[in-house]
Amino acid sequence: MDERELIVGIDLGTTFSLVAYADESGPHVIRDENGDGRLPSVIGVVPGRDAEKPRITVGWEARDHAVENPRATVYSIKRLIGKSVADVRRELPFLTYAVRSGPRDTLQVEIDGRLYTPEEISAVLLRTLKERAERHLDRPVRKAVITVPAYFDDAQRQATRNAGQAAGLEVVRIVNEPTAAALAYGLGVREQRGPAPPTAQPRARGVALPTPQCYEPLGRATTRASDGQLVAVYDLGGGTFDISILRIEHSVFQVLSTAGDTHLGGDDFDRTLMALITREVRDQFGVSIDAPATRQALRLLTERIKIRLSEQPQADVELDLDSGRFYRRTIQRAEFEAAIAELIERTLTLFAQALRDAELTPAELTRVILVGGSTRIPLVRRRMAEFCGREPYTALNPEEVVAEGAAIQAAILAGAHPDMLLLDVIPLSLGIETMGGAVGKLILRNTTIPCRATEMFTTFVDGQTAIKLNVLQGERELAEDCRSLGEFELRGLPPMPAGIPKVEVEFLVDANGILNVSARELRSGRQAGIQIVPNRGLTRAEVERIAEESIAFAREDITAHRRIDLVNQVAFDATKTEQMLARVGYRLDPAERQRIEDDLAALRRLARDAPDLDELHRALDAFGKSTLHLAEIGIREALAGPGDVGRR
């Protein structure tokens, strides 16, 4: 390990999660005592005795007890993170744990009467990986690059970053999984490392495919150095599907387009088998399989059948239905393929869309790389070969390549590889809701990030001090068909007559693909002071609290949150009014000035005495109205002042 700061790379997967780091010899996945790099993305909650706190189990241990403990075993949390209950309604029948609606459109998992956010559950996985890395490297790990599906939207990215923070990690970058995979291939590190270590042999949980030893590294100056290479990364994992098209030249990895589905992956293939078996058991025995324990057992069983069918033409199933009855069946590979064919075709439709967006044909691709455990399915490989007109490429272990890429990006961020650069895109268009529920597009999908757009807004009512913006992500024309990133509220506008304020709002998407909204009022020259309050997902305070408290105690407190917001707003308005009084107060008649000063003192008292929040809200509104005249004087003064304020 060199002297540079240590940043690990984490692949936080639907089914498995991995942690890796990179040194001079390349990226290394950190393995457990059995030589397995994979940590099942599963946590279990074991109830504590009496007043004891519940105990949390993670990984293989939690997975091994999933059947006994179906309601308290949480798996596939990645499919729920950054989502509302309404978003995942179709998912719910397949889960064995309970999901509830939380405040501000969040979702929570309920176990033994306690509520857990998906961020908290993901944080447990991340903390376990962090500790694994610390044990292996024998030094503290505080920073990480975490990968997400390329098609994750803003809310899902934010939630993932929050989970990292809650696990005590500074998330220095969110990287897209297919892009990370391309990085791992592009460095050609495998040449220096020799053959890949066998994956998971001791536990025989999955079978590593033989990995060809020689391949042409991407991104290196090859025969056509200036042309660059066009590479498609087809990433079909446990719960999500991504396709990214990259142009790689002179060590620059530029994503040209991406498409995907955050609810399409191995889980869905298991479910086709679950549906098949459930139906047949009901028809043959009149037994319905819906007890959580049975469903959990069936889930694990179908996953095993699926894996077996990737290696053998058929698989035997035996299910003990109690009272000596057994459901026995041989499932043919062809049968399974017929069941998942439609899902595979969906991935190809998305592949075609990504190619269209990149203005390419399959024949123009230099190479097609397969990533993710589900690409072991023979049908996937066959259809890919047919679609692309050539054999797809899988030199590296498809389950570890994303973590390796994350470790390489971490090394780039730490200052290694100064020639390498990763240019990614925003996967979904960003817009705002306009009059009549339409969407005004601000940033189009597949725009290189960082990117930005600005838009002007004004007020409709005299003295209006706040503007609400509904920010949307998606490709559809109507707001109701897009994903709302929440209503952003611009607060703290100086009260002015309707239509006078000119508020410039900047939408800035950073290198993580996360949106940052900022605003400034141009008329008064006030650049700072406008607060932006997103009303979705966890607040910063909540993330910090999760990080500080043990998971079992985490609880939402919306009232406290609202109180803090309101009290801050009171402090802000009061200070603003005081400044205005000091500057132009002499222009008011003494009686009005006295009244404002009295109101100001009363408002501060009310905020300090921890009052009823609705009352405080009303008082704040009334104060805004009673100081309107003063504010107008202040603005006229500012407008007449030196220097014209305008936009370039």
Partner 1 sequence: MSASARRERRATPVKCRTCARPMHSPLFCADCHTLHPADGFDHFDLLGFEPAYDIDDAELRRRYLRVSRDIHPDRHGRAATESAALSLRGSARLNEAYRVLSDPLLRAEYLLEVVGGKSSAQDKSVAPEVLTRTLAAREEIEEARAAGNQATLATCGQQVRQLFDQTAQRIGTLARQLPGAADVRHELRQALNAVKYYQKLLERL
Active-site positions read: 11, 78, 177, 235
- Helix ranges (DSSP H) in 358-492: 378-388, 401-413
Residue 347 token pair: 């991935």
Give the DSSP per-residue string, 486-510. Answer: EEEEEE-PPP-STT---EEEEEEE-
Which residue, 183 or 566, is less far from partner 1 as judged by CB? Answer: 183
Q: Is 144 in the site for partner 1 (CB under 8 A)?
A: no
CA–CA distances in Å: residue 301 to residues 39, 66, 274, 307, 318 = 19, 12, 9, 10, 9
What sign does the CA torsion over 571, 572, 573, 579 have?
Answer: positive
Least distance (Å) from partner 1 to the CB of residue 504?
Answer: 14
- Pairing status of strand 252-261 against strand 421-423: parallel
Number of H helices, E strands in the chain: 15, 27
Least distance (Å) from partner 1 to the CB of residue 153?
Answer: 19
Return the residue of 348, 511, 514, 638 that touches partner 1, per CB under 8 A.
Answer: 511
CB of 220 closer than 8 Å to CB of 191: no
Return the residue of 451, 588, 628, 633 that touches partner 1, per CB under 8 A.
Answer: 451
Least distance (Å) from partner 1 to the CB of residue 423?
Answer: 7
Which residue, 466 or 508, is less far from partner 1 as judged by CB? Answer: 508
CA–CA distances in Å: residue 240 to residues 256, 289, 394 = 20, 26, 19
Stretch that binds partner 1, among 70-78, 450-458, 577-585, 608-616 (CB under 8 A): 450-458
Least distance (Å) from partner 1 to the CB of residue 155?
Answer: 21
Least distance (Å) from partner 1 to the CB of residue 247?
Answer: 10
Determine the Cα–Cα distance for residues 132 and 342; give it in Å rounded to an integer.
Answer: 39
Determine the Cα–Cα distance for residues 14 and 220; give it in Å rounded to an integer.
Answer: 32
Q: Is 450 in the site for partner 1 (CB under 8 A)?
A: yes
Which residue, 448 or 579, is less far from partner 1 as judged by CB? Answer: 448
Q: Which residues contact 232 (CB under 8 A, 6 or more apart)?
A: 243, 244, 245, 246, 351, 354, 355, 365, 367, 368, 369, 388
- Residue 98 burial by CB count (10 A; 0-12/13-18/19+): exposed, middle or buried? middle
Which residue, 337 or 510, is less far from partner 1 as judged by CB? Answer: 510
Which residue, 170 or 311, is less far from partner 1 as judged by CB? Answer: 170
Least distance (Å) from partner 1 to the CB of residue 540?
Answer: 13
- Pairing status of strand 73-75 against strand 55-58: unpaired
Query: Three-state DSSP class for 374?
Result: helix
Which residue, 227 or 480, is less far from partner 1 as judged by CB? Answer: 227
Q: Is 449 in the site for partner 1 (CB under 8 A)?
A: yes
Instruction: For the beta carbon of residue 606, count every other beta carbon within 10 angstroms.
Output: 18
Stretch that binds partner 1, among 110-118, 158-166, 270-278, 507-515 (CB under 8 A): 507-515
Which residue, 222 or 559, is less far from partner 1 as judged by CB? Answer: 222
Return the residue of 361, 448, 559, 594 that touches partner 1, per CB under 8 A.
Answer: 448
461: alpha, beta or left? (left if phi > 0; alpha if psi -120 to 50): beta
Return the residue of 211, 314, 447, 535 that touches partner 1, per CB under 8 A.
Answer: 447
* Residues 81-120 as x/- pattern, contact with partner 1 by CB under 8 A: ----------------------------------------
- Distance, CA of 245 to chain centre: 21
Q: In the window 386-425, what residues touch partner 1 (CB under 8 A)?
A: 412-413, 418-419, 421-423
* Residues 213-252 as x/- pattern, contact with partner 1 by CB under 8 A: -------------x-----------------------x-x
Least distance (Å) from partner 1 to the CB of residue 385?
Answer: 28
Kindly report the backbone phi and psi dihedral angles of residue 550, in degrees, each rounded to the nearest multiple of 5, phi listed first: -70, 150
Q: In the window 151-180, what residues touch partner 1 (CB under 8 A)?
A: 170, 172-173
Q: In the window 256-315, what residues touch partner 1 (CB under 8 A)?
A: none
Which residue, 221 or 421, is less far from partner 1 as judged by CB? Answer: 421
Cβ-defined contacts of 524-529 (< 8 Å, 24+)? 524/494, 524/496, 524/635, 524/638, 524/639, 524/645, 525/638, 525/641, 525/643, 525/645, 526/494, 529/492, 529/572, 529/576
Residue 434 token pair: 């306009």
224: alpha, beta or left? (left if phi > 0; alpha if psi -120 to 50): beta
Least distance (Å) from partner 1 to the CB of residue 58?
Answer: 28
Return the residue of 205, 452, 587, 617 that touches partner 1, per CB under 8 A.
Answer: 452
Least distance (Å) from partner 1 to the CB of residue 19?
Answer: 19
CB of 490 closer than 8 Å to CB of 466: yes
Q: Which of 162, 131, 134, 127 is nearest to 148 (CA)?
A: 162
Q: Is 509 in the site for partner 1 (CB under 8 A)?
A: yes
Least distance (Å) from partner 1 to the CB of residue 252?
Answer: 5
Strand ordering across the sheet containing 439-443: 439-443, 430-433, 467-473, 483-491, 531-533
Determine the Cα–Cα distance for residues 496 and 624; give it in Å rounded to an integer.
Answer: 11
Count of residues in contact with partner 1, rule CB under 8 A: 24
Determine the Cα–Cα distance for residues 454 and 156; give it in Å rounded to an integer.
Answer: 24
Q: Provide the binding-site residues for partner 1, judged by CB under 8 A.
A: 170, 172-173, 226, 250, 252, 412-413, 418-419, 421-423, 447-452, 508-511, 648
